[in-house]
C-alpha cells in the first residue's frame, strides 16, 4: 500500500494568510476602536448596538429545550392560557349567540385553538418516514486519534448524540416489522460542530449514482395509481426495477436475508455505507468506512413473526427501544472503522471504494473499535425531536471529509434541500433538536421562522462596522479542512467507472457466506415476494438475475414459483465467503429480552419469585401470563391469555397447564388448534406452538413440563423440562444466548 498523502503544506499555504491575521498576540484582546479606513485584520468589539437593536433577553419558557429535565414532561403551570399568555376561563365551549346559536367570529380562543390544530402536521419524510429516536452519549476510545483529528474521538471524551432509526418505504403510520432496509442516523453534537452519520443497517445501496434515487424510490414505494402496497417490496414495480437495474441485486439480497426483518433496533448493525476520508493532526489522510456493532449481536425476526407483528403490534420496534431504555437496559453499539490507504485509485484489494454497492469483507480489513454509543434517554416529545430532527451528510467536524462516491455527492445536495419543504424554510437548524452544541457564529439571516434575534449591523464580509467579525479560522483554530485532493483532469461525462459494471460477484459472496438456515430464509423470501408479483415477465427476469448469483438459489426459487430454471448469462465470480456476514453461531448477552411465564392457579408457582429474580439478574424482563388480570395466587399478572401472543417473547416458560376455559376464544380455529396439539387452554397451546415453530427456547416444570411432554415437543432441541423452576431457567438462559434454536428450523440447504 502506498503511504498516506501528506497534505499539510498545501493546506498551510492556503490558510497562511488567515493564520497570520489571527496571530496569537491579538485574539482575546478586542478593542472598541471606531472603524478605520482599512478593513480590520484582527477581531475587535463591534460598534455598540443602537438602543433599538436590543432584543428581549427573557423568554417565556417553551419547555422545548431538549436538555430540560425530564420532570418538566407534563403541562407547565397551573392555569391554561392563550398563546399570548392570557388566562382562560373555559376551553370546552365555543362563544355562541346563546346556547343554541351559531359560533361568533370574535371567539379568538376558538379560532386560535382550531387554526393551530389544523396545521399540526408537517409533511412526512419523502423516504424513511416511519422512525423512532433516542438520546444518548458517545464516548471516544482514543484509538482513532492517530488517523482522525476530530475531537469527539479522543480517549474518554463524551459527546451527546441523538439517533433516529427508521424503515425506508412505509408512511409514518406503517408497521415497524416489514421487510425493508432500516435507517440508522446519528447526530453527534460535537464541540467542533455537529457530525451526522446517516447510515443504514445494510452496508450497500441499490444504486451507484444519486441521480437514480427517485427511480428506485418510485419503484419501491406503492404503485402510483392505488397507493398500495404500504411498506412492502413484494410487488411488481419493485421487482421490475431491481431485475432491470442489476446493480440493485446486492442490496436486494440483503433485504431478502434476515437483515430485512430485524428483531429490534437494538440488534442491528449500522453502516455509514460510503467511504469517507479521515485527516489527522499532521494533515495525513486515510480512507475509512464506519460500522456500528451492537453489543447484543445481530438478530432477526422470523418472517412469520414479522407478519404477525404487523397486526398484533405495528409499533413493535419503537416500543422495544423505549421499553428497553426505560427499563435501564440501555442499548449499546461500538463504532468501528475499516481503514484503507488513501491511494490515487481509491481501491482496496481490488474493490472500488467509491462504489456503494460493494463492501470490503471484514476478513480483509478488520473493523477497529473507536468508541461506544449508549442510548439512555427516550424523547420527551416525539414531534419536537424525532419528527423534526434533520440530518445531513455535509454536517462534518474537522477531521472527517467526503469522497467522490457519486451516491454520497448527490446526498450532499438532497438532505439540505428536502428540509426546506419538510421543515418549512431555511432555519431548521434552530429547532432545538437540530441546534449544534458548538457555538454558532454564522452570517445566515432572516427567512421563515427565524428564532434568533441577531445583533450587529454587518452580517457580511468584509466589514469594518462589526469590528471585521466574524473572521475565518485557520489551522490553529481547528477550522474544517476541505482536503485538497486532486480532481482528475477528465472530460465532462455522464458515465461510470468500468469497475461499477460488476453487479453479481458480491451478491454471490453474500449468499455463500450464509449458514444453511439463513440461506433457507433467503430462498423463502424471494419465493414469497416474487409470488406476490402479477407479471410473469418480471418473475422470469428476476430468476435470470438469480441464475447469475447461484444455481441452487435460482433452482429453489424457480421451483417455488413453478417456473423453469434459466441458464446463467455471466460466469460465476470466484469469491471467498466472509463468515462475518452470518448472524448465526455465536453467543450473545440477553439484555432486555422478554421471557413469558405461563401461570394458572393450579400450576406449580412456588419457584416463580426466584425465577423472576434470576431473569431480572440476567438483564431480561419476565412477564407473567395468567388466565385473568390482577393477581394469581399472590403473583402480579402482566399479560392474560387474551392479551399475550408469542411474538412478544424471546422464550417461554410454563409453570402451569391451564385446562381449557369454556369461554376461551370460542372460534373453530382455536378449538382445532387445541385438539391438534394438547388439551389445555387453546391460547396457551397456540403460545407453545408458535414459540416452538419460531425456534424459541421453551422450558417447563411440574404440570408445565407435563404439557410439553403431552404436546410431543419435550424431547426436541431447545425444550427444557428436567428439574426445578430455577434449574430449568438456568438451562433456558444458556440456550437463549445462541438467540434461537436453529436446529428446529427445517433447512435443506448445504452448509
Ligand atoms: Fe437517504 C433520509 C440513509 C441515499 C435522500 N436517508 C434518509 C435517512 C436515512 C438515510 C437513515 C433518514 C434520516 C432521518 O432519520 O431523518 N440514504 C441513506 C443511506 C443512503 C441514502 C444510507 C445510501 C448510502 N438518500 C440517499 C440518496 C438520496 C437520499 C442517494 C438522494 C439523492 N434520504 C434522502 C432524503 C431524506 C433521506 C430525501 C428524506 C428525509 C431526509 O432526507 O431528511 O433527503
Averages of pLDDT over runs of 10 residues in the chain (751 residues) are 49 48 42 74 80 51 46 65 91 96 96 95 98 98 98 98 98 98 98 98 98 98 96 97 98 98 98 98 97 97 97 97 92 98 96 98 98 97 97 97 97 97 96 95 95 91 93 93 87 94 97 96 98 98 98 98 97 96 93 93 91 94 95 95 96 84 49 53 92 96 91 93 94 96 85 73
Sign (positive or negative) of CA dihedral 536, 538, 539, 545: positive
Ligand 1 pocket (Cβ < 6 Å) reads 125-128, 131, 164, 166, 183, 185, 198-200, 205, 210, 213, 273, 356, 389-391, 407, 410-411, 414-415, 418
pLDDT confidence of residue 465? 93
Give catalytic status of residue 469 as yes or no: no
Which residues have a Cβ under 8 Å from the Cβ of 739 and sit 6 or more positions away?
Answer: 297, 299, 583, 584, 588
CA 328 – ligand 1 centroid, Å: 31
For the structural domain made of 505-581, what CATH number should be given? 1.20.1370.20
Q: At what angle do helices 725-736 and 608-617 cross, to 10 degrees?
A: 30
pLDDT confidence of residue 665? 44
For the structural domain made of 594-744, what CATH number should be given? 3.40.50.880
646-685 b/e (C-beta count within 10 Å ≥ 16 → b): bbbbbbbbbbbbbebbeebbeeeebeebbeebbebbbbbb
Contact 265, 165 (CB under 8 A): yes
DSSP assignment string, 239-252: HHHHHHSGGGHHHH
Which of 128, 235, 274, 521 is labelled catalytic?
128
pLDDT confidence of residue 660? 64
Q: Whose CA is nearest to atom 42 of ligand 1?
A: 415
Question: Does this chain's domain 131-434 share its CATH topology with 594-744?
Answer: no
pLDDT confidence of residue 678? 54
Q: Whose CA is nearest to atom 25 of ligand 1?
A: 411
Domain boundaries, the chain: 131-434, 505-581, 594-744
Which atom from ligand 1 is nearest to the alpha carbon of 133? 15
Which of 109, 200, 299, 521 is labelled catalytic?
200
Q: What is the DSSP letter of 147?
A: T
Contact 242, 248 (CB under 8 A): yes
Which of 208, 403, 415 to mutate to test ligand 1, by most ligand atoms within 8 A of the CB atom?
415
Q: Is 131-434 in CATH node 2.40.180.10?
A: yes
ipTM of the complex: 0.99
Distance between CA atoms of 210 and 494, rounded to whole angstroms? Answer: 12
Closest CA to 594 of 619, 613, 614, 620: 620
Q: What is the DSSP letter of 227?
A: -
DSSP assignment string, 607-654: THHHHHHHHHHTT-EEEEEESSSSEETTEE-SEETTT--GGG-SEEEE
Amino acid at each position: 500500500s502506498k503511504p498516506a498523502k501528506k497534505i499539510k503544506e498545501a493546506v498551510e499555504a492556503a490558510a497562511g494568510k488567515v493564520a497570520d491575521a489571527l496571530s496569537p498576540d491579538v485574539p482575546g484582546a478586542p478593542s472598541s476602536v471606531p472603524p478605520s479606513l482599512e478593513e480590520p485584520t484582527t477581531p475587535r468589539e463591534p460598534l455598540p448596538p443602537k438602543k433599538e437593536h436590543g432584543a428581549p433577553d427573557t423568554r417565556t419558557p417553551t419547555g422545548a429545550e431538549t436538555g430540560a429535565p425530564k420532570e418538566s414532561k407534563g403541562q407547565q403551570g397551573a392555569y391554561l392560557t392563550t398563546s399570548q399568555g392570557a388566562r382562560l376561563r373555559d376551553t370546552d365551549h365555543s362563544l355562541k349567540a346563546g346556547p343554541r346559536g351559531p359560533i361568533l367570529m370574535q371567539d379568538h380562543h376558538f379560532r386560535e385553538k382550531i387554526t393551530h390544530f389544523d396545521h399540526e402536521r408537517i409533511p412526512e419524510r419523502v423516504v424513511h418516514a416511519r422512525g423512532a429516536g433516542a438520546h444518548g452519549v458517545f464516548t471516544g476510545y482514543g484509538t482513532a486519534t492517530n488517523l482522525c483529528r476530530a475531537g469527539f474521538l479522543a480517549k474518554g471524551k463524551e459527546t451527546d448524540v441523538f439517533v433516529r432509526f427508521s424503515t425506508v418505504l412505509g408512511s409514518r403510520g406503517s408497521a415497524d416489522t416489514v421487510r425493508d432496509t432500516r435507517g440508522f442516523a446519528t447526530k453527534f453534537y460535537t464541540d467542533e460542530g455537529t457530525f451526522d452519520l446517516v447510515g443504514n443497517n445494510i452496508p450497500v445501496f441499490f444504486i451507484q449514482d444519486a441521480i437514480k434515487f427517485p427511480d428506485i424510490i418510485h419503484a419501491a414505494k406503492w404503485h402510483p395509481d392505488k397507493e398500495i402496497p404500504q411498506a412492502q417490496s413484494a410487488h411488481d414495480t419493485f421487482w421490475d426495477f431491481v431485475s432491470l437495474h442489476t446493480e440493485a441485486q446486492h442490496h436486494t439480497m440483503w433485504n431478502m436475508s434476515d437483515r430485512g426483518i430485524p428483531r429490534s433496533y437494538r440488534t442491528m448493525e449500522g453502516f455509514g455505507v460510503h467511504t469517507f476520508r479521515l485527516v489527522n493532526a499532521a494533515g495525513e489522510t486515510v480512507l475509512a468506512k464506519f460500522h456500528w456493532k451492537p453489543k447484543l449481536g445481530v438478530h432477526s425476526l422470523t418472517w412469520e413473526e414479522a407478519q404477525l407483528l404487523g397486526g398484533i403490534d405495528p409499533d413493535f420496534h419503537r416500543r422495544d427501544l423505549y421499553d428497553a431504555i426505560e427499563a435501564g437496559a440501555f442499548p449499546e453499539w461500538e463504532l468501528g472503522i475499516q481503514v484503507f490507504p488513501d491511494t490515487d485509485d481509491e481501491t482496496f484489494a481490488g474493490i472500488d471504494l467509491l462504489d456503494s454497492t460493494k463492501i470490503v469483507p471484514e476478513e480483509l480489513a478488520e473493523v477497529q473499535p473507536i468508541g461506544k454509543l449508549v442510548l439512555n434517554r427516550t424523547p420527551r416529545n416525539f414531534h419536537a425531536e424525532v419528527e423534526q430532527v434533520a440530518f445531513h451528510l455535509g454536517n462534518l467536524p474537522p477531521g472527517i471529509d467526503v469522497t467522490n462516491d457519486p451516491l454520497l455527492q448527490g446526498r450532499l445536495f438532497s438532505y439540505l434541500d428536502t428540509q426546506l419543504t419538510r421543515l418549512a424554510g431555511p432555519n431548521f437548524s434552530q429547532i432545538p433538536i437540530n441546534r449544534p452544541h458548538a457555538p454558532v457564529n454564522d452570517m445566515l439571516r432572516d427567512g421563515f421562522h427565524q428564532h434568533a434575534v441577531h445583533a450587529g449591523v454587518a452580517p457580511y464580509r468584509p466589514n469594518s462596522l462589526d469590528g471585521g467579525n466574524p473572521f475565518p479560522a485557520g489551522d490553529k483554530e481547528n477550522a474544517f479542512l476541505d482536503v485538497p485532493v486532486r480532481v482528475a483532469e477528465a472530460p465532462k461525462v455522464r458515465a461510470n467507472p468500468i469497475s461499477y459494471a460488476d453487479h453479481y460477484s458480491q451478491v454471490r459472496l453474500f449468499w455463500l457466506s450464509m449458514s444453511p438456515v439463513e440461506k433457507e430464509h433467503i430462498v423463502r423470501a424471494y419465493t414469497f415476494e416474487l409470488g406476490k408479483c402479477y407479471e410473469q415477465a418480471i418473475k422470469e427476469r428476476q430468476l435470470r438475475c438469480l441464475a447469475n448469483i447461484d444455481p441452487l438459489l435460482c433452482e429453489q426459487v424457480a421451483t417455488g414459483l413453478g417456473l423453469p430454471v434459466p441458464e446463467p448469462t455471466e460466469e460465476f465470480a470466484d469469491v471467498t465467503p466472509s463468515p462475518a456476514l452470518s448472524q448465526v453461531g455465536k453467543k450473545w448477552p440477553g439484555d432486555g429480552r422478554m421471557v413469558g411465564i405461563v401461570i394458572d392457579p393450579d400450576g406449580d408457582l412456588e419457584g416463580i419469585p426466584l425465577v423472576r429474580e434470576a431473569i431480572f439478574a440476567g438483564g431480561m424482563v419476565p412477564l407473567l401470563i395468567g388466565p385473568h388480570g390482577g393477581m394469581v395466587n399472590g403473583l402480579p399478572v402482566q399479560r392474560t391469555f387474551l392479551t399475550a401472543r408469542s411474538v412478544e417473547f424471546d422464550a417461554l416458560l410454563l409453570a402451569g397447564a391451564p385446562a381449557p376455559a369454556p369461554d376461551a376464544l370460542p372460534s373453530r380455529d382455536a378449538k382445532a388448534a387445541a385438539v391438534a396439539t394438547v388439551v389445555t387452554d387453546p391460547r396457551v397451546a397456540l403460545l407453545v406452538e408458535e414459540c416452538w415453530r419460531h425456534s424459541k427456547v421453551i422450558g417447563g416444570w411440574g404440570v408445565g413440563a407435563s404439557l410439553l411432554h403431552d404436546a410431543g415437543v419435550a424431547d426436541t432441541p431447545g425444550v427444557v423440562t428436567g428439574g426445578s423452576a430455577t434449574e430449568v431457567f438456568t438451562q433456558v438462559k444458556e440456550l437463549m444466548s445462541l438467540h434461537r434454536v436453529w436446529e428446529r428450523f427445517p433447512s435443506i440447504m448445504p452448509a
